[in-house]
Structure 1
Amino acid sequence: MWLLLASMAAGGGVGIGGVTSGGPVLQRAVRAGPAAQVLVEAAAAGGVAIALDPRDVAGRQLPALRRGEALRRALARICPAAGLVCRVEPMGVVVRRAPAPPRPRAGPTPASPAESVILVTGRHGAGVMLESERSFSLSRLSPESLRRCPPLTMADMLVSIPGLWIDTSAGTSANIARLRGIPMDGYTAMAVEEDGLPIQHSSLPWTDIDQFMRPDIMLESVDYVRGGPSGVLASNAPGGVLDLHLRRPPDHPSGEMRATGTDYGLARLDGWVGAPLGEWRSMAGGYIARDPTLRHIAQTLGGGQLRLRGERDLPHGRLTLTARYQDDASLNTSSYPMVLRDGQWSALPSFDPRRGSWFGPDFNNVRFITADGGVIRPVGRNNRNRAFDLSAALASGGWTARLRLRRSDTQRNAILSSGPPVSAADFVGAQGGHYSLRRSDGAFLSPAALVEVVQPASAAVQLDEMIVQVERAQTWGSHNLAGGLYTLVNRWRYQRIVARALVEARSQGLLVDALDAQGGPALTDGGYLSRASTWEQTTGRTAGLAAYASDEWRIAPGWRVDAGLRHEWEVLRGTVGIARTLDLSTPAGIANRAAQIDSGQSAAYADSFAATNATIALHWQARPEQLGLFARASIGHVLPSVGAYRTSAAPAAAHALDVAEAEAGVVLTQGRVRLGLTGFANRFRGLDVSASMIDAASGAITLVPRQASSHNLGIEAEARWPLTAWVQAQGAMTWQQSRLSDYPGYDGHVPQRVPDIMLHGALDISPPRGPWHLGLAMTAMGRRFADDANSLRLPPYVVMGVQFGWDLGQRSGRIEGEISNLTDAVAVMQGDAIAGDGAAGPYAVGRALAGRTLRLSYTVGL
């Protein structure tokens, strides 16, 4: 049996310290000695894991290694002479005795285990495992893939992972995801962890996890576990766990810098520097950016992020400290008007859905009405996100303790769509036929001009959170045991004001006043039908505790059972503000007739919940280090968050969501070929499918409570294989059938935004000794629907992309480039989130992917 040893970052994942374009570098010298000792110390000096069998290295001696030498080159120099095969793979070193010389007769030669990939994500327990030993679906973004195409947003990282439909059309943050057909919005079905702890315990309304996750040059690699054990690994994770591995501080002075620019004017500088400071290894890094955004907006956004990391070796472990500060203004856009004829979507002549937006000069600053009078909010600045967190991780003697303290402060602004556009004549007719429409620049609109009602919104949100996790892992005979405690305390403060405005239906459209042609009061106040149509306010506190345990038990040669339990308790307390409606119209204008403001009163709530999640899997290693098969069954729950109490102290959604999942899969790793195939099924009961609707009389946004169940059956595949020495192909495919049930009138319908088929393909052309590479990528999505009623069909789409790069030499750096949406396709991702399906006559409301962009980056070591 293999002995699996790991030199891991204290955060629980394997990070690679001192990585250059050639791979990990030895951060300290290694003394000569027994092979096991030298190899384990070499892996630790390179910051990676190692897997070896003591029997393969027994009795062998290896020479000393120099600090600063590439680990791959060092092992290639010392291992063959000792009769060993040593390979550095993306997540660690695999060592085995060199095969004996072939006998005269022909026969199959087993593939080297060095071609297997080492895993540390997707499980609790001591040590690491090989790719073919996993009993769950996992996808990885390697350091090389992140280097070749650095993602600028969290959504960018996830688009090619099978089983995930990721909508990147919103912009930097608040994008939408559907994980294995689960009809849960945003990232509410996914746990996002950084160095083993959640960035945020759960997504909350207007406090999405991706608002506080910014990929930068400090990100080393990314793993995503889909379904399977995720409900035991983390809270709020029925769809999966995203694990982000940060770069570890180096043992010698080093660094890297990357400059990025785009054809629409983005300018961004990433960098990190690190060096020893006494007993500590330290580094600082992050980015700063100026971002005018691809979409036409009236202001330039941007900002940055700074990380500080320190790491110190202890007699029997390691201590890691991390601080992060983020301050940026980022784009988040809603839906906008389009033409819909015979099921085909196309652009309005005045509004390019790939580059347009509502964020014109008239919305740079919006005056809202509150109980304290008027307040001006910088809606044109979009999302202003500030976050500060401190993290600590201590690993020693099989124990791991982690702590994260965070504070985020968000001024989140948006311009929400509110139904399809209509002609000026139709709008005036609906109001009684005696109004004339005048833009803010003084020009009157013709009867044929299109206008639309939109809803400028401004939310102020704060979240304070503390997460502590203590875990113990130990092997005992044929068992690999782990257990731990996870605790959470947070406080959430939320307030949102929404207005209603009339604008010309064009990109950066101007406000439109509706003036009474007969001399009576105007319908609007400077283009606003209401400056306070909706008001919401709530505060909430969460105290939670989870206890978990798992076991990987080898029941026979080649056979393993792994099982886990997680029991969670939580207490939720808070208050929900009560609005009052006032008539604030004047003799000069009848706008603000039903303004919502704070009444000064609130309703308190106090609830507690508990639930247990469990998973069990059977794994068969059909061919050592090459072929594994598994089957898994899981049951679980998702407990409600304080976000469920956003508008009511007794919401229908305040209950545990029931989850049942099953999987069966095959994992093949042979030479450079990787193949993963998984069939999956899931069932969810008690889903919150509440819909936001607009009150016809007041224009207020109201939440209509609804619950439903869903079931999903699907197959996902992920493969990578070489076609020639120059060309490597990658592919991912998901086919799924997701249906709603226990939903009056909609039983058997497809949940909104869930595609039936998803395809990703890529070709990478890289000469073995050449300095350049070229990649071609394709993403295709099948049919989806904009609503649960399935009345508005979103057509399939295909998006193409090109990646390229040139290595200028070790000291000269490298150039990487990408052209996204090569054909400038109009790929519609969603309909109108507020006003139903968003279609009327020849017009519809939807949101499409951004148009074609060119991005170039230059990276150089320091």
Structure 2
Amino acid sequence: MKNHKRFLLSAITLAVWALTQQVQAQDGAAVPSPDSSASGTDQGTADDKLNKVVVTGSTSLKRTVRESSVAVTSADRADLDRKSPRSTASALELIPGMMVEDSGGEVSNNYTVRGLAGGGQNFVQLSEDGLPVFYHPGLADTILKQELSIDRMEAVRGGTSGILTVNGAGATVNFITVRSKEEPEGALRLTGSDYGTKRIDLRYGGAIGNGWYAGFGGFYRTSDSVRDIGFTADHGGLLRAYVGRKWGDGEFSVNVKVVNDHNTFLLPTPFQNPSNPQPVPGFNGNYGTLLSADNGVQYGRNTNGLQTNDLNDGIATKSTSIGYNFEKRLNDAFTVRSKGRYTDFKNEFNSIFTFDNNSLRTAADRLNPASNADIQAMLKRFPGTTPAIRGVASGVIYSGAKLADVSGNGLLTDNISAKNRAYRQNFVNDLSLTWTTAGNSLTAGLLTVDQNEQNGNDGNTRFLGEVKNNPARLDIVAIDAAGKVVGQLTDKSVLEYNPWGVGLSRSSLSSSNLYLNDEYQVNERLRLDAGARLEHFRYRAWRPQGSVVTIPGSTRPDGGDADNIMVNNTMPAFNGQYDYVDNGSSNHSSVTAGGNYLINDNLAVYARYSKSYQANNENPVTRIGFGELGARYQRRGFSASLTAFRTNFKDYQFSRLLEGDTLETRVGGDIIVNGLEYELQWKPLRYARINLSGVVQKSSMNIKSVNGPSAATVNTASLGSHPERSPDQNYTITPTLLLPDNKGELYLSYHQVGKRYADAANSFVLPAYHTLDVGASYQLSPALSLNFNVQNLTNTIGLTEGNPRAGFTEVASGKYFFARAILGRNMQFSLTASF
């Protein structure tokens, strides 16, 4: 660890020294176009990234990265192909300071920025073509996929991100799609992997005459998971199309995107020895999973009867989005722009989740009546019997000394089987007017979001299963002296119906945002800008109430148990009543101001202050402020962007669903972070390049409040001072060998993540880890290229999270616990034809 810190300090010191030397050498120089005299320009210079024009976080549409006064990152198609992201979250690792937890599979991963606690998507907005996918970004990655139709990714951290979008005070990540408007062109890509991927991507478009243009794109694939789940994990795809027309002073286009896709959610996996985490005996930490064909299809109960929770259907998404884009120059000074999108979104999240850490234990412990009230109740219900474990599918009975044979390691656990529904109708629109003069660009806009949603986990179950790769379900039974089963606590492994609530809630959200953003060029060296947003927000919800009911058919006419299965007697169910939530309308504001100064033709500095917030439905907003000082330098094959920042999160909210509760308990506190983000690229030789990007930061948290059903049981004095899952360092260094004649490249990528805390009490350390990726690209012909990538070459086991169901303190009563580990070594390759 100390070596990694010394390396980082040395690299940053070198960059600062280079800046200082060049300032001394170039002081007083004019401000022409940047120096691009680096050797080896056939492969592109290190200056290219700073000279790219960025549209995200800007309203003038003319600023380059070098001239910008916000922390901005641009990754083009070549950067994305080199990264070969297995998920949308994985692509976010290209952004300095972004902490990504992409261990859950292709979708529903976590990411955070600038020292904010991990475990969600707070303060980071995902956008497509400049419009937020949803108001809250959760599940946005189920329809915002990594595909050949994505032209580039742009990300703004802080600054104008809190002005030009909603709920993106920390960052806006904007994926910009290809819009071919001139000569027809396209590409076809075939992708495979060592975990069974069979995928085809296609896009094509261009001018069709008389100012009109059109195009389409999409992908279809089937793929097994890197982790062995026992069935095909991912299948489906998306299709998009667009058509538009350009004329002398304007343009109009419409687009449509249809998604029908299925993904598997990889739940946390079993580990032991919290001080030195290792997989439990017999479990493969790189490729194992607690998903299986045996527990993949289960039956829950609700007021409509039985419900099927089917992992083969996975995270099933069906979505249709229809959008438009309009731009017209009214005269030399004024331009009006409007874009919008309507999305009809249906998602059924069929998945398995872990229960708390205390449920991961030996079979002997689980059957001990002295510490398990349900075992006591079973023995009372069936007197003269002994508790035992029985395989649901195998029928094998384990009792006495044989309990050590359960799972091959003596362990079992509780899990949750669920089909969480999220049905949304979302409309977003952004209308703006820009007034441009010789040195100024002033934009006024109205951004609106309206969303109706139904969601809930109705029909979920808590069930018992083995703890091994591809586990089988288990029953708890009562046996007589002859070993015959005379009664059951569980039914086909089900311990409890609807522990995570009943019914489907309904909600309505509306957001109207007036914003102003002004960009003023004082002279050739100095640019200033300022912006403000005022949001009018309204949220209402109807949350279903539950009552304990008798399960139909569970009793005989005389009132006795009809099947001698205890779990089948009663259950919570929706009673037809709702709790209405309406905190009325609220108004909140965001402001920012910044400036960029070109010291000479190679060095620019900037400063920025911003103050914004995140809306939390009916809960109070969480306020956030950023202060930034940055420098950008480029000359002779070397470029660097350094941003020193201070983050002030006021009343940050995080929550846990504690055992026995149907609503979450929320904790609030203040977080202060000081850090340095950096992006460096150096091309010391004609055929060599080195990239370094990352963050070093120090964050602290002060707990101030606890609210919710279990607030009285939470001891705030026991909570820690460091935000959950937020590392003090996170960086990637990538040396690359460039092949002659632009034929391709070979690269090695080293990624380091510092230690984090899995829980609010800071009692459970997630150790630091590093991974090594290798890859290559080769241009077989001018129109045909090959790409190859291996992730986690050394098969490192790195933990991205502990167990979110463990409460605010994750230390279990025993030595076993759940955690989610990064994926094991895996290989992906693709062949792309351009035409």
What's the TM-score once normalised by structure 1's chain length?
A: 0.82
The yes-or-no answer on 1:353 pairing with 2:318 is: no
Whole-angstrom CA distance in 1 between matches of 2:687 and 2:187: 28
Amino acid at match of 1:819: V
Higher relative contact order (CA 8 A, sep 6+): 2
1:554 Cα offset (Å) = 3.2
1:798 Cα offset (Å) = 0.5
Contact 1:575–1:603, Cα closer than 8 Å, also in 2: yes
Task: Provide the residue aligned with 2:489 in structure 1.
Answer: 523
Task: Provide the residue aligned with 1:159 in structure 2.
Answer: 93
Task: Provide the residue aligned with 1:223 in structure 2.
Answer: 154
1:736 Cα offset (Å) = 1.2
CA spacing shift, 1:655–1:166, aligned 2, 3 Å: same
Whole-angstrom CA distance in 1 between matches of 2:728 and 2:637: 30
Aligned with 1:824 (options 785, 792, 795): 795
Task: Provide the residue aligned with 2:758 in structure 1.
Answer: 786
Whole-angstrom CA distance in 2 between matches of 1:595 and 1:113: 65
1:770 Cα offset (Å) = 5.4
The yes-or-no answer on 1:198 pairing with 2:165 is: no
SS in 2 for 1:623: coil
1:338 Cα offset (Å) = 1.1
Whole-angstrom CA distance in 2 between matches of 1:520 and 1:705: 44
CA spacing shift, 1:794–1:56, aligned 2, 3 Å: closer
1:492 Cα offset (Å) = 0.8
1:363 Cα offset (Å) = 2.4
Task: Provide the residue aligned with 1:40 in structure 2.
Answer: none
Whole-angstrom CA distance in 2 between matches of 1:447 and 1:163: 48
Task: Provide the residue aligned with 1:108 in structure 2.
Answer: none
Whole-angstrom CA distance in 2 between matches of 1:127 and 1:337: 50
Amino acid at match of 1:453: D
1:414 Cα offset (Å) = 1.6
1:594 Cα offset (Å) = 6.0
Q: List runs of 5+ in structure 2 lacking aligned partners.
A: 1-30, 330-334, 380-385, 405-409, 556-560, 705-715
The yes-or-no answer on 1:704 pairing with 2:665 is: yes
Whole-angstrom CA distance in 1 between matches of 2:116 and 2:228: 33
Amino acid at match of 1:363: N
CA spacing shift, 1:56–1:795, aligned 2, 3 Å: closer
The yes-or-no answer on 1:478 pairing with 2:409 is: no
Whole-angstrom CA distance in 1 between matches of 2:242 and 2:428: 19
SS in 2 for 1:723: strand
Whole-angstrom CA distance in 1 between matches of 2:346 and 2:94: 31
CA spacing shift, 1:660–1:113, aligned 2, 3 Å: closer
1:539-558 to 2 correspondence within 5 Å?
Answer: 539-555=506-522, 558=525
Whole-angstrom CA distance in 1 between matches of 2:646 and 2:569: 51
The yes-or-no answer on 1:303 pairing with 2:236 is: yes
CA spacing shift, 1:132–1:347, aligned 2, 3 Å: same
Deviations 1:631-660 (A, max 9, x none): 11111222233xx5xxxxxxxxx1122211
Q: List runs of 5+ in structure 1 lacking aligned partners.
A: 1-54, 58-75, 77-86, 91-110, 645-653
Whole-angstrom CA distance in 1 between matches of 2:568 and 2:118: 35
Whole-angstrom CA distance in 1 between matches of 2:666 and 2:46: 57
Task: Provide the residue aligned with 1:444 in structure 2.
Answer: 397
SS in 1 for 2:499: strand
SS in 1 for 2:324: strand
Amino acid at match of 1:396: K
Which sits farther off after the overlay, 588-597 or 396-405?
588-597
The yes-or-no answer on 1:234 pairing with 2:165 is: yes
Whole-angstrom CA distance in 2 between matches of 1:575 and 1:115: 49
1:185 Cα offset (Å) = 4.2
1:122 Cα offset (Å) = 4.0
1:227-266 to 2 correspondence within 5 Å?
Answer: 227-266=158-197
1:222 Cα offset (Å) = 0.7
SS in 2 for 1:131: coil
1:402 Cα offset (Å) = 0.4
Task: Provide the residue aligned with 2:653 in structure 1.
Answer: 688
CA spacing shift, 1:501–1:701, aligned 2, 3 Å: farther
Aligned with 1:853 (options 805, 826, 831): 826
Amino acid at match of 2:580: A
SS in 2 for 1:130: coil
Whole-angstrom CA distance in 1 between matches of 2:566 and 2:637: 71
Whole-angstrom CA distance in 2 between matches of 1:566 and 1:239: 15
The yes-or-no answer on 1:639 pairing with 2:612 is: no
Whole-angstrom CA distance in 2 between matches of 1:559 and 1:502: 65
CA spacing shift, 1:385–1:112, aligned 2, 3 Å: closer
CA spacing shift, 1:840–1:768, aligned 2, 3 Å: farther
Aligned with 1:132 (options 63, 66, 70): 66
SS in 1 for 2:593: strand
Whole-angstrom CA distance in 1 between matches of 2:800 and 2:472: 26
Task: Provide the residue aligned with 1:71 in structure 2.
Answer: none
The yes-or-no answer on 1:427 pairing with 2:366 is: yes
Whole-angstrom CA distance in 2 between matches of 1:113 and 1:436: 69
Deviations 1:51-73 (A, max 9, x none): xxxx999xxxxxxxxxxxxxxxx
SS in 1 for 2:271: strand
Contact 1:118–1:128, Cα closer than 8 Å, also in 2: no
Deviations 1:69-94 (A, max 9, x none): xxxxxxx9xxxxxxxxxx9999xxxx
Task: Provide the residue aligned with 2:355 in structure 1.
Answer: 418
The yes-or-no answer on 1:321 pairing with 2:297 is: no
Contact 2:463–2:494, Cα closer than 8 Å, also in 1: yes
Whole-angstrom CA distance in 2 between matches of 1:506 and 1:480: 61
1:202 Cα offset (Å) = 1.7
1:474 Cα offset (Å) = 2.5
CA spacing shift, 1:290–1:747, aligned 2, 3 Å: closer
Give the root-mean-square deviation of aligned CA atoms: 2.4
Whole-angstrom CA distance in 2 between matches of 1:411 and 1:748: 36
CA spacing shift, 1:668–1:169, aligned 2, 3 Å: same
SS in 1 for 2:781: coil
Whole-angstrom CA distance in 2 between matches of 1:660 and 1:714: 14
Aligned with 1:595 (options 547, 553, 571): 571
SS in 1 for 2:79: helix
1:691 Cα offset (Å) = 1.3
CA spacing shift, 1:596–1:775, aligned 2, 3 Å: same
Whole-angstrom CA distance in 1 between matches of 2:244 and 2:634: 34
The yes-or-no answer on 1:559 pairing with 2:526 is: yes
1:114 Cα offset (Å) = 8.1
Whole-angstrom CA distance in 1 between matches of 2:793 and 2:84: 18
CA spacing shift, 1:594–1:707, aligned 2, 3 Å: farther
Contact 1:377–1:458, Cα closer than 8 Å, also in 2: yes
1:670-689 to 2 correspondence within 5 Å?
Answer: 670-689=635-654
Moved beyond 6 Å, runs of 4+: 87-90, 111-115
Task: Provide the residue aligned with 1:189 in structure 2.
Answer: 123
The yes-or-no answer on 1:534 pairing with 2:467 is: no
1:702 Cα offset (Å) = 4.3
Task: Provide the residue aligned with 2:634 in structure 1.
Answer: 669
SS in 2 for 1:119: coil
Contact 1:124–1:482, Cα closer than 8 Å, also in 2: no
Aligned with 1:117 (options 51, 60, 64): 51
Amino acid at match of 2:518: D
Which sits farther off after the overlay, 459-468 or 526-535?
526-535
Amino acid at match of 1:549: L
Percent identical among aligned pairs is 21
1:89-100 to 2 correspondence within 5 Å?
Answer: none
CA spacing shift, 1:321–1:414, aligned 2, 3 Å: same
Deviations 1:380-425 (A, max 9, x none): 4320011110111011112111010111101101211113421111
SS in 2 for 1:158: helix
Aligned with 2:541 (options 574, 592, 596): 574
Deviations 1:158-217 (A, max 9, x none): 12321111001000111111211112642231111211111222235xxx2112211110
Task: Provide the residue aligned with 2:697 in structure 1.
Answer: 736
Task: Provide the residue aligned with 1:35 in structure 2.
Answer: none
1:593 Cα offset (Å) = 6.0
Amino acid at match of 2:494: Y
1:269-288 to 2 correspondence within 5 Å?
Answer: 269-279=200-210, 280-288=212-220
